[in-house]
Amino acid sequence: MMITLYSAKWCPWCQKTKEFLRANDIEFEEKDIDIKEVEEELKDITNQDAVPAVVAGEEFVVGYDEEKLKEVLKI
């Protein structure tokens, strides 16, 4: 399953999400929402522009929610 992290350099919760994913050996692609096209892509998927947003297949988690991330990522 492909994991995509929508994040921003200025977002401390995005850094925490990256740390969580790395600590759990989850490979992911990171996309910067400060790029207009990426922000629009995120809105299309989640109907929000909030970060961090982790997209895993058809599911997504917006915000830093460790329990929800574990559930969605099956860890």
Domains and CATH numbers, the chain: 3-73 (3.40.30.10)
The model scores a pTM over 0.75 = yes
CA distance 49 to 71: 22
Output the CA torsion sign for 26, 65, 70, 58.
Answer: negative
Provide the pLDDT for residue 1. 80
For the chain, 75 residues long, give each residue's pLDDT as a single digit of tens: 899 999 999 999 999 999 999 999 999 999 999 999 999 999 999 999 899 999 999 999 999 999 999 999 999
Give the CA-trace dihedral at 55, 61, 66, 72, to 10 degrees.
-60
Q: Tell me if 35 sits within 8 A of 50, measured CB to CB.
A: no
Provide the pLDDT for residue 51. 96
Tokens of 4: 């995509």
